Amino acid sequence: MIETFKILTGIYDKRVTNSIHKLNESHITRGYEMKLCKFRSKKDIRKYSFTQRVTDIWNILLEYVVISKSVTKFDNRLDRYW
């Protein structure tokens, strides 16, 4: 989860991590704006990849956990949430 937070907030280089996760652009979603899209996969190699495994867990997190200013705040809030 911490790595996903770093990717989405731009701590890592955008040129490298630009296509790893895609934010849900639909305005119909409930909750916060940083929900991730999950793409369908036909092969097992894609089905068990990092982005597919993390998406469901990330979208379940509460808004106050996801919208943090720093990695340490995110880590503390995530520990309290879990």
Higher pLDDT, 28 or 63: 63
All residues at 6 or more sequence positions from 51 whose CB lies less than 8 Å from its CB, including other chains = 20, 21, 36
Residue range 52-81, pLDDT digits in tens: 788 888 888 888 888 888 999 999 999 999
Q: What is the pLDDT of residue 82?
A: 84
Phi (first) and psi of residue 63, to 5 degrees:
-65, -40
User: Residue 20: pLDDT band by 50, 70, 90 thresholds?
Assistant: low
What own/partner pairs with CB < 8 Å and gap ≥ 24 does 29-33 have?
A: 31/63, 32/63, 32/66, 32/67
Question: What is the distance of C-alpha 5 from the center of its chain?
Answer: 6
pLDDT over 80 at 43, yes or no: no
What pLDDT score was predicted for residue 36?
A: 79
